[in-house]
Amino acid sequence: MKKYKIGIIGATGYAGLELIRLLVNHPDAEIAAVSSVSFEGQDIADVYPNLKEIVPMTLESVDEIIPRCDLVFASVPHGVSEEMAVKCKASGTILIDLGADFRLHDEADYKKWYGKDYKHPELHETAVYCIPELHREQIKNAPVIGNPGCYPTSISLGLMPAIRAGIIDLDHVIVDSKSGVTGAGRGLTQGTHYPDTNEAFAAYKAGCHRHTPEIEQTLTELAGTKVNVTFVPHLLPVNRGIESSIYVQLNEKGRALTAEQIHEIWSDTYKNERFVRVEKLGNYANIKNVRMSNFCDISLHLDEHCGTLIISSVIDNMVKGAAGQAIQNMNIRLGLAEETGLLTVPTAF
Amino acid sequence: MKKYKIGIIGATGYAGLELIRLLVNHPDAEIAAVSSVSFEGQDIADVYPNLKEIVPMTLESVDEIIPRCDLVFASVPHGVSEEMAVKCKASGTILIDLGADFRLHDEADYKKWYGKDYKHPELHETAVYCIPELHREQIKNAPVIGNPGCYPTSISLGLMPAIRAGIIDLDHVIVDSKSGVTGAGRGLTQGTHYPDTNEAFAAYKAGCHRHTPEIEQTLTELAGTKVNVTFVPHLLPVNRGIESSIYVQLNEKGRALTAEQIHEIWSDTYKNERFVRVEKLGNYANIKNVRMSNFCDISLHLDEHCGTLIISSVIDNMVKGAAGQAIQNMNIRLGLAEETGLLTVPTAF
Amino acid sequence: MKKYKIGIIGATGYAGLELIRLLVNHPDAEIAAVSSVSFEGQDIADVYPNLKEIVPMTLESVDEIIPRCDLVFASVPHGVSEEMAVKCKASGTILIDLGADFRLHDEADYKKWYGKDYKHPELHETAVYCIPELHREQIKNAPVIGNPGCYPTSISLGLMPAIRAGIIDLDHVIVDSKSGVTGAGRGLTQGTHYPDTNEAFAAYKAGCHRHTPEIEQTLTELAGTKVNVTFVPHLLPVNRGIESSIYVQLNEKGRALTAEQIHEIWSDTYKNERFVRVEKLGNYANIKNVRMSNFCDISLHLDEHCGTLIISSVIDNMVKGAAGQAIQNMNIRLGLAEETGLLTVPTAF
Amino acid sequence: MKKYKIGIIGATGYAGLELIRLLVNHPDAEIAAVSSVSFEGQDIADVYPNLKEIVPMTLESVDEIIPRCDLVFASVPHGVSEEMAVKCKASGTILIDLGADFRLHDEADYKKWYGKDYKHPELHETAVYCIPELHREQIKNAPVIGNPGCYPTSISLGLMPAIRAGIIDLDHVIVDSKSGVTGAGRGLTQGTHYPDTNEAFAAYKAGCHRHTPEIEQTLTELAGTKVNVTFVPHLLPVNRGIESSIYVQLNEKGRALTAEQIHEIWSDTYKNERFVRVEKLGNYANIKNVRMSNFCDISLHLDEHCGTLIISSVIDNMVKGAAGQAIQNMNIRLGLAEETGLLTVPTAF
Within-domain flag for A323: no
How far is C-alpha B185 from the chain's CA centre? 14
pLDDT tens sequence across C233-259: 999 999 999 999 999 999 999 999 999
A240 & A308 share domain? yes
Residue A239 has pLDDT above 80, yes or no: yes
* D87 part of a folded domain: yes
The amino acid that residue C307 corresponds to is G
- The CB density around residue B293, as the number of other CB atoms within 10 Å, is 22
Average pLDDT by consecutive 10-residue portion of chain C (349 residues)?
94 98 97 96 97 97 97 95 96 97 96 94 96 97 98 98 98 96 97 98 97 98 97 98 98 98 98 98 98 98 97 98 98 98 96
Total domains in the fold of chain D = 2
| Per-residue model confidence (pLDDT) at position A162 | 98
Q: Are residues A60 and A198 in the same domain?
A: no
In a domain, B129, yes or no: yes
Query: Which has the closest alpha carbon to A153: A26, A320, A281?
Result: A320
Q: Side chain identity at C14, as an amino acid letter?
A: Y
A68 and A163 inside one domain:
no
* B288 inside domain: yes
At residue A274, the pLDDT reads 98
Alpha-carbon dihedral B108, B326, B266, B212, rounded to 10 degrees? -30
Q: Which amino acid is at B7?
A: G
Q: Are strands B173-179 and B229-235 parallel, antiparallel or unpaired?
A: parallel
The answer to whether residues C37 and C102 belong to one domain is yes
Q: Which of D86, D90, D69, D89 is nearest to D11 (CA)?
A: D69
Q: What is residue A172's predicted lDDT score, i.e. its pLDDT?
A: 85
Of A50, A290, A343, the CB nearest to C348: A50
Tell me the C-alpha distance between A16 and A266, whole Å: 32
Contact C51/C45 with Cβ under 8 angstroms?
yes
Q: What is the pLDDT of residues C281-306, one digit of tens each?
A: 999 999 999 999 999 999 999 999 99
Nearest to B50 among D240, D318, D346 (CB): D346
User: Do D248 and D300 fall within a single domain?
Assistant: yes
Cβ pair B153, B218 in contact under 8 A: no
Chain B residue closest in CA terms to A240: B199
| Residues C23 and C91 grouped into a single domain | yes
Which residues, other chains included, contact D1 with Cβ-Cβ below 8 Å and sequence gap of 6+? D28
| pLDDT surpassing 90 at residue D172 | no
Domain membership of residue D70 (yes or no) is yes
Q: What is the pLDDT of residues B218-253, one digit of tens each?
A: 999 999 999 999 999 999 999 999 999 999 999 999
Q: Kindly tell me if the per-residue pLDDT of A31 is higher than 80.
A: yes
Q: Are the C-beta atoms of C219 and C162 separated by less than 8 Å?
A: no
Evaluate whether residue B182 is within a structural domain. yes
At D261-315, the pLDDT tens digits run: 999 999 999 999 999 999 999 999 999 999 999 999 999 999 999 999 999 999 9
Q: Which residues of chain B have a CB within 8 Å of the CB of A246?
A: none
Q: Residues in chain A whose beta carbon is closer than 8 A to a beta carbon of chain C?
A: 14, 17, 20-21, 24-25, 48-55, 182, 199, 239-240, 277, 279, 283, 286, 288-293, 297, 318, 343-349
Q: How many CB contacts within 8 angstroms connect chain A with chain B?
A: 165
List all chains that touch chain A, counting a touch as 3 or more CB pairs closer than 8 Å. Answer: B, C, D
B27-78 tens-digit pLDDT:
999 999 999 999 999 999 999 999 999 999 999 999 999 999 999 999 999 8
Residue B115 pLDDT: 93
Do C240 and C180 touch, CB atoms closer than 8 A? yes
Contact B69, B32 (CB under 8 A): yes
Mean pLDDT of D99-109: 96
Question: Do A102 and A229 fall within a single domain?
Answer: no
CATH number of D269's domain: 3.30.360.10
Q: Is A150 a catalytic residue?
A: yes
Query: Could you tell me where the beta strands, DSSP code E, fall in chain C?
Result: 4-9, 29-35, 59-60, 71-74, 94-97, 128-129, 144-146, 173-179, 202-203, 229-235, 242-249, 276-278, 296-303, 308-315
pTM: 0.98
Strands A308-315 and A242-249: antiparallel
User: A200: number of CA atoms within 13 Å, CB side?
Assistant: 29
The model's confidence at residue D337, banded by pLDDT at 50, 70 and 90, is: very high
Nearest chain B residue (CA) to D23? B345
* Mean pLDDT of the region B295-313: 98
Q: Which residues of chain C lie closer than 8 angstroms to A318, CB-CB?
A: 349
Across the interface, which of B182, B240, B348 has its CB nearest the CB of D17?
Answer: B348
Q: Are residues C157 and C275 in the same domain?
A: yes
Cβ distance of D182 and A195 shorter than 8 Å? yes
Q: Does A347 sit within 8 Å of C50, measured CB to CB?
A: yes
Give the model's pLDDT for residue C172: 85
Flag whether A136 is in a domain. Answer: no
Closest to D239 measured CA to CA, from D284, D181, D175: D181
Concatenating the DSSP letter of every residue in B15-70 gives HHHHHHHHHTT-TTEEEEEEE-STTTTSBHHHH-GGGTTT---BEE-HHHHGGG-S
Distance (Å, whole) CA A203 – CA A196: 14
Chain B residues in contact with A243 by the CB 8 A cut-off are: 201-203, 234
From C194's Cα to the closest Cα of chain B, the distance in A is: 4
Query: What is the mean pLDDT of the segment spanning A313-327?
Result: 98
Whole-angstrom CA distances from C199 to A176, B198, B318, C67, C194 are: 27, 11, 16, 47, 9
- Report the CATH number that the domain containing residue B27 is assigned in CATH: 3.40.50.720
At B106 the pLDDT is 95
Q: How many CB atoms lie within 10 A of CB D142?
A: 21
Q: What is the pLDDT of residue C289?
A: 98
Which amino acids of B are annotated catalytic?
Answer: 150
Same domain, B43 and B116: yes
Cβ within 8 Å of residue B87, ≥6 positions away:
B62, B63, B66, B93
Range of the domain at A212: 151-316
| In a shared domain, residues C97 and C163 | no
Give the per-residue pLDDT at A217: 98
Nearest CA in chain C to B194: C194
Q: Which whole number is the average pLDDT over A177-191?
A: 97
**A83 Cα to chain B: minimum distance (Å):** 33
Cβ-defined contact of D347 to B50 (cutoff 8 Å): yes
| Rounded-to-integer distance, Cα A121 and Cα A118, Å | 5
**pLDDT, mean of residues B102-122:** 95
> Minimal Cα distance from D193: which residue of A?
A193
D-side interface with B, Cβ within 8 Å?
14, 17, 20-21, 24-25, 48-55, 182, 199, 239-240, 277, 279, 283, 286, 288-293, 297, 318, 343-349
Cα–Cα dist B269/B158, whole Å: 11
Cα of D80 to nearest chain C Cα, Å: 29
Asked if D55 and B345 come within 8 Å (Cβ–Cβ), the reply is yes
Residues of D in contact with A189 (CB under 8 A): 188
Closest Cα of chain C to A21: distance in Å? 5
For residue C129, the 8-state DSSP code is: E
Chain B closest CA to D167's CA: distance in Å?
27
Tens-place pLDDT, residues D113-154: 999 999 999 999 999 999 999 999 999 999 999 999 999 999
Is pLDDT of A175 > 80? yes
Cα distance between residue B54 and residue C5, in whole Å: 61
Q: Taking Cα atoms as reference points, which of D208, D240, D213, D29 lies closest to residue D110?
A: D213
**Total CB pairs under 8 A between chain A and C:** 85
**Catalytic residue among A150, A208, A296, A306, which?**
A150
The D-side interface with A (CB below 8 A) comprises 14, 180-182, 186, 188-190, 192-195, 197-199, 237-239
* Catalytic residue list of D: 150
* Residue of A298, A315, A347 to mutate for C, most C C-beta atoms under 10 A: A347
Residue D213 one-letter amino acid: P
- Nearest-5° Cα angle at B173, B288 to B207: 80
Q: Indicate if the pLDDT at residue A86 is higher than 80.
A: yes
pLDDT averaged over every residue in chain B: 97
Q: A161 and A81 in one domain?
A: no
Query: Rounded distance, CA C78 to CA C98, Å?
Result: 10
**What angle (nearest 5°) sits at the alpha carbon of residue C141, between those of residues C138 and C143?**
105
Distance CA B163, CA B223 (A): 6
| Residue D258 within any structural domain of the chain | yes
Which of D50, D55, D288, D292 to mutate to test binding with chain B, by most B CBs within 10 Å of its CB?
D50
Chain D CB contacts of B286 under 8 Å are 49
Give the long-range contacts of residues B267-271, CB within 8 A, separation 24 or more.
B268/B161, B269/B160, B269/B161, B269/B164, B270/B133, B270/B161, B270/B298
Pairing of strands D296-303, D308-315: antiparallel
Chain D contacts of B50, Cβ < 8 Å? Answer: 288-291, 293, 345-348
Interface test with B, best of C14, C182, C194, C317 (most B CBs within 10 A): C194
Residues from chain C contacting residue B14 (CB–CB below 8 Å)? 195
Q: How confident is the model at residue A135 (pLDDT cuts 50, 70, 90)?
A: very high
| Record: contact B193-C192, CB cut-off 8 A | yes
pLDDT for position C196? 97
Burial track B307-321 (b if 16+ CB lie within 10 A, e otherwise): bbbbbbbbbbbbbbb
What pLDDT does residue B172 have?
85
Residues B136 and B250 in one domain: no
Confidence of residue A206 (pLDDT cuts 50, 70, 90): very high
Instruction: Read off the pLDDT of residues B322-341 as tens digits, 9 standing for 90 and up.
Output: 999 999 999 999 999 999 99
Q: D15-48 burial by CB neighbour count: b if 16+ within 10 A, else e?
A: bbbbbbbbbbebebbebbbbbbeebeeeebbebb
The values of phi and psi at residue B270, to 5°, are -105, 10
